[in-house]
Structure 1
């Protein structure tokens, strides 16, 4: 090791096997400690919308934040920094050293299943918000982890697919958010993605990991793998990967020891990885003098936390259209709230972003609290295609009577490994267990709180039997269908039977794990992921849901309620079936008969407001029929209260879109998520999202990136280039005047349209002002010099854009107010 390595003395105390052991996790979310050098075990937690802790399902009650697109729609770096600080407090309460976030991949195609936990389609907006978020976390000594490096913009066959893109697109678009965050906030860790990039696994990327990240950028943090992403020993170790997750098994261990002993991997490479691990440990207080965790902290349901989450959610909501229907006046009369998403509001997406919140407020609950008896609530059409775990409020533990279920785990000999209560109806098996022997069988038992006819069944790989009051009523053997072990957690197979249940009936579900022979992956390999899929691991859930009414009956009831109310609020949206890790969408159309519901209500109602409970673009064929449209995203545990505040004007929903909304399926610069022969070509190059729309590479979007009305109107009285900033980029001054009747926040956006025909328009800066009615403010936008670069592929280095072009001063590219020649 170099003599200037501050950890050289510690490394000398470790033999090769100990060093290698430290480079693979000890469990699903923890790392090994080493007492001899003062290294404490470290704990990681997923964290895009909350710090879940060490359990994938269940676990501690933690705060559920608004999702990333809601937070990003505020276009506010201070908001992002505040969120980072709040997440650090959540982490400290659980003694978590590193939060696995933010997710800063881009919204390349609107079909991406994981867009909800990513900020935007723009690299500058994403990078600046990520930098602020990282600062908020790390200012309090909790490590951030940027993910996923790199070109990981879709989920289909994510473990096997190859993202193919030019070096120019890689540098100018997909690496840029990482570059900005590394330069401005120095994140202490980064996560390498599942996919290959131009034929090389992200965990083995000599070019990205060693040459760019650790070389050109001089980044000194720790590069970890995504969970189960590492495929090899020597190529990954030589390709810049520092840590394999999860543990305790993986491709390193003895294999990496042999690679070092044979000379395939120099021991100095292992030492460099351990050095980065020790540096992370020192930064988060796990090396030498260990950090002292706070004795007290803000509870996830404390009044202070409730108020913060409510405000953050409202600030990111986007008013797409408003013909004077919003905000609802205090004396607006009666309101008919219609839609499944109104009574079962979706507050978070699926996958590693899920947490176990203390409560979730539906829109119906929030509006009821705000306007009382003036509200009528009507359920909507079915919005799901697959069964879901039973509502724990409908179940009671047969021993304690608490809402939820009783769970027992057994080994292969039938010996009880553990039992207890869970306030959900799901349990994960084989993922984050801490039993002394493998689980072979699980039982889930509960008493029914209300009588009714229900769909009764189960979710999860295994051989199932369902009994009611001791009599078997259903059975099925469910097997994994896909090639991603994440599907066993996020899209497990299911079955249901229609059953009449009496109040107090005892329902018992038993699942025995089905372990099959590993089948080859799509690339023909039988690998670690193949064995995981064959292991039977995954989520196991009891399904019990009232049989839904027919769509025609539901729509008729909604129409009747809308006809007699002064205003109808229809809530539509997506669920975790579409907005989730491990799966992509196939359409932007709302599921079920939601479009028909909106059209029918709009025809009957005096005024119709549509609330879109979805984080990502949806089609709105009814937009011209309604009076207002508000996108509320996945608003977190305070969602219903935040939506009520937005609709009633208690707080302005001043958000701006972070993704362009296509007008029809297929009308986007990039669409496909399905790789061909495991390759996904990034044919849009540097013309991602709004850049491609503006260049005519797709039909104009229904709603442009940056669009959002708030509750005021604005004049842009003057705009000028007022000099240059520290890095030589222009400084733009804009005078805006609030011509509305309410205090409002305006986000002034500046775009560069280069003179070169082959260069896309791009966001180069933004700034906001809060202005009273009739008043004016001068807003200064400091443009970012990094957007005046282009990657010269022939020379292999950055070059400066040519002279000329113009700056567009806009409220989104669909509403340009000034053009300033350069």
Structure 2
């Protein structure tokens, strides 16, 4: 097939045909390959917000199950969702590490540990690809923060790069053979990821013998010659980009060998063959459960609940008793955050709040109280808050108009958001966007606008007029040494566009309408209506009053998509607003207090010793409220274990800063990230260790002994009152002074109350090696040290002297 193509045809195939498709070539039977963002749902080719799809729990919550079978099932579910939209490749999983807890995109990635990340990713990949949908490991490599992400240079020594940041990619490629990999935006040691011969060619395609395709992150490619020779196979998106005629000229000038072009095309054709886009095209006649079907909803509840993690449970207050009266408190209780921000966002059919989930349980005595303000930006509109005035269906009617006022297109969305992307096939330039809706709310509301343009909003008797300007990136006027930066577009108009919020009073049926003139495109636009955020004094007074009257106060706190987002990092791990004051006030007034943490990543908990129980629930997806209710009342055991260490205070992690200095972000901590740094004394003891999680039972570890040089057997006894799942974790602390402790294996087991089970855990050989920089090769650790059985390193159950293999 390759031999039948001329140079122009070959090069045309190596740049996307649109935002999410590749080019077809009829002469060889090649159809387009359709790609979709996919970590928490398959959004598909439609970026306008029209299509409703299933919203899964976020990656850290799924990973907290420590269950490769569950991750395989997630891959299978996403494959079904992809098949329903004729998608060939899901752009995931994200397997960058949780280097610093400040990373804004940690919610999309699995953990701070390379082995755990790699093995979970491999299971996810197998789930997708066993159903014929390609996976795409991202983002290669050292892409652990978002600040200046298009221009920053990750400075990381070779041993740390190999032992930590490349290991998840290596494990997933070796164990699951993912059909594609995505190069990151950042440089690595001064070389752009899309041009990095050392990583792309020498390591991935050479040492690992990877046969798949390496594509660029969207708009990450800056050059023709350096990127083509640097191991990149496919430039995304298209059309356009830096290849095309420039790459043809480079080949003709001898700067890029034809053999390199042929290898890129070969990898593209192999991907097409694997996903059914080459030769006889795949038939899409599969019956797929609807996002609202009972089976799908039950599946999502189970996925979310399994990873939820009991952090404290004094007096076994959890699970709650059905006859207890409960005061449910907090803005996150009534406006539960179900997903993070950025390219992983989808438009789900609903997002069940914790208040809705607990109210749905029969026989509960429940009082619901709103909490303190938690947002700076306008809140995402809940389904049913805004209705199309013509159809009465949930959503907003958007009308795109040209410069002469004529209608270009009408969009009826199920949400309050519309996105105009690069690939929208519009007849004319969009000069104005009208929007029309009615609200179902009564009382004070916050009316918000999101998106670059000149806004007029009519809300009942009030009219608001203002301009929202394009945000600008830091740096030298939005450019960098590799060409024009896309930070203003990707990080501003699309990922976190400007906003404004005003407060007014409405009644059910009030019209919400207006126009956005001079909208910036590509861009994302939303009109939002939500219950007005309350002042802290009033909110705390009402909360403490309700808490004093109930048997148990359940306070729901957390972060929002303002902190858990692509394109921006956090500046603190403290909860936004006055949520800490709310928890402390409730704890002082209530008989018993349970705190539910609705956050994807670590938060600081100054009140942890004031409350009776803490349940971490991540960002639980569209069935959030049902999943949280199921765990609080014990219908499903929250058997999760933390995938990230929770520091006790800001700055108390060995790796902390995510802000480049002079464009460089130094990975100066080397391999001592997360629990490795705390265990080595390079950071104070954390609030909660990686691997921590109590479940709803108690455990004894008995007769731990070696069964080989790096395998341990232990009898695990469930001494609690209910059937429960335990995750037996095996760590190795090498005797080598320059090597940190590391997770080397784990095994989960479910045991009935009063029973026990023998569990054997073997160390993965890939965790028992070090990179010998002087010899440029892997070398085994000496094997001398301790094998540690633990429920997280804060709860060690046995220490065994390791026996070297050559002893």
Fold match by TM threshold 0.5: yes
Q: Within the alignment, does 1:586 sit opposite 2:571 as a pair?
A: yes
1:96 aligns with 2:87: yes
Q: 1:59, CA displacement in angstroms?
A: 3.5
Q: Is the 8 A contact 1:474 1:497 kept in 2?
A: no
The one of 331, 340, 343 equivalent to 2:334 is 343
What is the CA deviation profile of residues 149-207 of structure 1, one whole-angstrom value per residue up to 9, with x for unaligned ones? 00000001100000000000000000000000010000000000010000000000000
Moved more, 327-336 or 708-717: 327-336
Counterpart pick for 2:489 among 459, 467, 485: 485
Equivalent residue number for residue 19 of structure 1? 10
Query: What is the alpha-carbon distance in structure 1 between the residues aligned to residue 448 and residue 708 of structure 2?
Result: 67
Q: CA deviation at 1:357?
A: 1.2
1:512 maps to which of 507, 514, 517:
517
The answer to whether the 8 Å contact 1:55/1:432 transfers is: no
Distance in 2 (CA, whole Å) between partners of 1:468 and 1:332 is 43
Q: CA offsets per residue over residues 62-107 of structure 1, 9 Å max, x none? A: 1111111111111111111111111111111111000001000000
Confirm whether residue 117 of structure 1 aligns to residue 108 of structure 2: yes
Q: Decide whether aligned partners of structure 1 residues 607 and 332 sit closer, same or farther in structure 2, where only a CA change above 3 A counts.
A: farther
SS of aligned partner of 2:287? coil
Deviations 1:213-249 (A, max 9, x none): 0000000001000011111111000000000111112
Distance 2:58 2:71 in 1: 12
Q: Does 1:428 align with 2:432?
A: no
Determine which of 637, 648, 652 is the counterpart of 2:637.
652
Tell me, yes or no, if the aligned pair for 2:333 and 2:354 is still in contact at 8 Å.
yes
Aligned to 1:735: 715
Structure 2 counterparts to residues 385-464 of structure 1, below 5 A: 385-464=376-455
Deviation by residue 1:610-635 (Cα, 9 ceiling, x = unmatched): 00000100000000000000100011
CA RMSD, 1 decimal: 1.6
Query: What residue ranges of structure 2 are gaps of 5+ in the alignment?
Result: 474-486, 803-807
Q: 2:369 aligns with which of 374, 378, 388?
A: 378
- Aligned residue in 1 for 2:479: none
Question: Which secondary structure does the structure 2 equivalent of 1:709 belong to?
Answer: coil
The 1-side partners of 2:528 and 2:301 are apart by 31
CA, structure 1 residues 25+741, in 2 after alignment: closer, same or farther (shift >3 Å)? same
Quote the Cα distance in structure 1 between the aligned partners of 2:368 and 2:374.
Answer: 17
**642-651 or 162-171, which deviates more:** 642-651
User: Aligned in 2, Cα 1:508/1:78: closer, same or farther, shift over 3 Å?
Assistant: same
Provide closer, same or farther for how the CA distance between residues 819 and 546 of structure 1 changes in structure 2, counting only shifts above 3 A. closer
Report what 2:800 is aligned to: 820
Higher mean alpha-carbon deviation, 202-211 vs 768-777, is at 768-777
Secondary structure of 1:623 counterpart: coil
1:558 aligns with 2:543: yes
How is 1:769-780 mapped onto 2 (pairs within 5 angstroms)? 769-780=749-760
CA contact (8 A) 2:448 2:527 kept: yes
Q: Which residue of 2 aligns with 1:612?
A: 597
Paired with 1:240 and 1:470, the residues of 2 have a C-alpha distance of: 60
CA displacement at 1:549 relative to structure 2:
2.4
Using the TM superposition, give the Cα deviation of residue 481 of structure 1 relative to its aligned residue in structure 2, in angstroms: 3.0
**Secondary structure class of the residue paired with 2:228:** helix
1:211 aligns with 2:215: no
Of the three residues 639, 657, 664, the one matched with 2:649 is 664
Q: Which of 121, 138, 142 pairs up with 1:147?
A: 138
The 8 Å contact of residues 209 and 240 in structure 1, kept in 2 or not, is answered as: yes
8 Å Cα contact 2:322/2:363 also seen in 1: no
Report the Cα distance in structure 2 between the residues aligned to 1:801 and 1:770, rounded to whole angstroms.
33
Superposition pairs of residues 102-181 of structure 1, within 5 angstroms: 102-181=93-172
SS of the residue 2:343 aligns to: helix
- 1:288 counterpart residue number: 279
More displaced stretch, 768-777 vs 279-288: 768-777
Change (3 A) 1:38 1:377: same
Match of 1:194 among 161, 185, 200: 185
Q: Which moved more, 1:709-718 or 1:498-507?
A: 498-507
Closer, same or farther in 2 for the Cα pair 1:588/1:551, shift >3 Å? same
Identify the residue that residue 521 of structure 1 maps to in structure 2. Answer: none
Q: Distance in 2 between matches of 1:790 and 1:812?
A: 23
Match of 2:223 in 1: 232
Checking the alignment, whether the CA contact within 8 Å between 1:484 and 1:582 is kept in structure 2 is: no
Q: 1:314 to 1:503 in 2, by over 3 A?
A: closer
Q: Secondary structure at the match of 1:624?
A: coil
1:762 counterpart residue number: 742
Q: Secondary structure at the match of 1:370?
A: coil
Residue in structure 2 matching 1:703, options 680, 683, 688: 688
Q: Which residue of 2 aligns with 1:687?
A: 672
Aligned to 2:732: 752
Cα distance in structure 1, aligned partners of 2:641 and 2:442:
45
After superposition, the Cα gap between the structure-2 partners of 1:400 and 1:107, relative to the gap in structure 1 and judged at 3 Å, is same
The 1:470/1:441 distance shift into structure 2, 3 A limit, reads farther
Out of 355-364 and 36-45, give the one that drifted further: 355-364
Paired residue secondary structure (2:200): helix
For the 8 Å contact 1:57–1:356, the answer to whether it is kept is no
**Deviation (angstroms), 1:467:** 3.4
Alignment-derived partner of residue 602 in structure 1: 587
CA contact (8 A) 2:398 2:410 kept: yes
* 3-state secondary structure, aligned to 2:615: strand
Residue 476 of structure 2 is matched in structure 1 by none
The CA deviation at 1:768 is: 1.1
Conserved 8 A contact 1:313-1:636: yes
- Aligned-partner Cα distance in 2 for 1:554–1:471: 26
1:81: which partner in 2? 72
Q: 1:324 Cα shift? A: 2.4
Distance in 2, Cα, partners of 1:79 & 1:448: 39
- C-alpha distance in 2 between matches for 1:502 and 1:342: 23
Distance verdict in 2 for CA 1:330–1:497, change over 3 Å:
closer
